[in-house]
Amino acid sequence: MAIALRKHEEIAKLRTANKIVAGTLELLRAHAKVGVSLKELDAMGEAYIRSHNAKPSFKGLYGFPSAVCTSLNEVVIHGIPTDYKLQEGDIIGFDVGTEKSGYFGDAAITVGVGEISKEDEALIACAKDTLYHAIEIINDRMRFKELSHEMEKFILSRGFVPLRSFCGHGIGKKPHEEPEIPNYLEGDNPKAGPKIKNGMVFCLEPMICQKEGASKILTNGWDVVSTDGLRSSHYEHTVAIINGRAEILSIV
Q: Give the C-alpha distances (Å, rounded to integers) separating 126 from 1, 137, 150, 178.
A: 31, 16, 13, 26
Is 190 inside any structural domain? yes
Please state, in angstroms and rounded to a whole number, the distance separating the CA atoms of residues 187 and 27. 40
Q: Is residue 157 in a domain?
A: yes
39 Rama class: left (phi>0) / alpha (psi -120 to 50) / beta? alpha
Nearest C-alpha neighbor of 249 from the set 21, 68, 51, 8: 21
Q: Is 3 part of a structural domain of the chain?
A: no
State the Cα–Cα distance between residues 122 and 124, nearest whole angstrom.
6
Q: What is the pLDDT of residues 4-41, one digit of tens each?
A: 999 999 999 999 999 999 999 999 999 999 999 999 99
Q: Is residue 12 domain-resident?
A: yes
Query: Which residues lie below 8 Å from residue 169, measured CB to CB, with a gap of 6+?
Result: 176, 177, 178, 179, 180, 181, 202, 203
Q: Which helix (H) or strand (E) holds 178?
A: strand 177-181
Which CATH number do you get for residue 225? 3.90.230.10
Q: Does residue 1 sit within a domain?
A: no
Structural domain includes residue 234:
yes
Q: How many domains does the chain have?
A: 1
- What stretches in the chain show pLDDT beneath 70? 1
Residue 200 structural domain:
8-248
What's residue 16's pLDDT? 98
Q: How do residues 78-113 score in pLDDT, each as one tens digit?
A: 999 999 999 999 999 999 999 999 999 999 999 999
Quick one: pLDDT at residue 163? 98
- Note if the pTM is more than 0.85: yes
Decide if 110 is inside a domain: yes
Query: Edge to edge, what strands does the sheet with 201-204 contain?
Result: 177-181, 168-170, 201-204, 237-242, 245-248
Say how many C-beta atoms besides its own lie within 10 A of residue 243's C-beta.
7
Is residue 104 situated within a structural domain? yes
Q: Going by DSSP bridges, is the β-strand pair 215-217/224-226 parallel, antiparallel, or unpaired?
A: antiparallel
pLDDT at res. 180: 97
The reported pLDDT for the residue numbered 1 is: 60
